[in-house]
Amino acid sequence: MASKVLKKKSDRQRCRKYIPEWLPIMPSNALYFPHINVPSNAWTTQAILYWDRLASIVPLDFMENPGQADELTRRLMVEGLVQPVFPAALTYQVERFDECFIEYVERKVIPFRRHLGSMQRKGAVSLVHAEKLGRIPDFLVDAGLAKQVNASWYQMDTPLANRFMAYLATVLSALPHIDATPITDMALMADTFGMRGRAEAMRARGMHAAKARSSLLKAMLPVPDGPLDVDKLLAFKCRYGELLPKFRERIERHCASVALLSEPEARIQATKEFVDDCEGEIAEITAAMTPAFGKVVLGSLIPLFGSGLAWHATDAGNKIAYAGSAMSFAGAAYQAIASIRDLRLQHERRPLAYVSHARRVLGIR
């Protein structure tokens, strides 16, 4: 019988040639689940704009058989906008990775199914790659919760598959060298695990923060639905990506503070006021970055001197004095213009300048 569990040492050796560029540092990223393929819609565009990098959990086979991913996901990975995360190279670092999920299934899933008994109806099923499951497949097959399709894939009920993928994404995201936020475009998966006590309070705050973040991004980066423009996104991130961390930090600070508010109305009002304040600042930044009179260069001042502007301050017969006055005038004017440019540069470095540039370059309104 084909091996149900991939040999971890062998997997890590196979991974080494694929991961050295991105594995050591993944700051301020997001890890997408439950699928390999990221959706081709506004959700993904917004995620790419908001996070430094968007990552997706893929089996190691992807690198040798890239056809497992769709054309868009492959293109995004080639361009570096989406990073592949290989579970086989990482889950071994989590001491009780297999045991914790198995214990969860024993406590929550199996008793629930027994309670349903004959009322249980057959629902949708999903495939999960063995590389992502570690030693879990043996347990799931023995418990009647999964069926082996071939050497690499197992079939199980979609709700159980989704719970596992949420578990996997959460665990991988916590690893120090990944340091990502697990995100999904499936609203039903946002509340996958039931929690109690302090854990429930932390989960609730996390949900409130996520809702606030979603509301803010819809208001400030309202990306129109439709296919992704990979070239435009790549060019924008390359040019203005350095502004993203400060912008995201400002958003996350607000989301964290909103999550502490107990009343839904207070959270909604706080977010509305934050958006209003930001819109005012964005308008100010946009206006400051828009020059009132084209591009000014020193050469454009020369016609002023030819028109006799400086003759009133100098002796018309003293060419040396005239030259000195002209240079003084030009120097003073150029310094004043330079101060205008410095002010514009200061506005361009403000956190919300990222939104101003996105609206201008990407046509977001």
Q: What is the mean pLDDT of residues 109-127?
A: 69
pLDDT reported for residue 346: 52
210 pLDDT tier (thresholds 50, 70, 90): confident
Lowest mean pLDDT across 8-22, 52-66, 278-292, 332-346: 8-22
For the ranges 88-92, 153-157, 185-189, 259-263, the lowest mean pLDDT is seen at 185-189
| Chain segment 143-185, per-residue pLDDT in tens | 999 999 988 899 999 889 999 999 999 899 888 888 888 888 8
Q: Where are the domains of the chain?
A: 1-193, 195-365
The predicted-structure confidence for 316-364, as pLDDT tens digits, reads as follows 455 544 444 444 545 555 455 444 444 445 546 677 888 888 888 887 7
Overall average pLDDT of the 200-205 stretch: 69
Residue 222 CA, distance from chain mean position: 15
Question: How far apart (Å, rounded) are the C-alpha atoms in residues 261 and 204?
Answer: 11
For residues 290 and 106, which has the higher predicted lDDT (pLDDT)?
106
> What average pLDDT is seen over the chain?
75
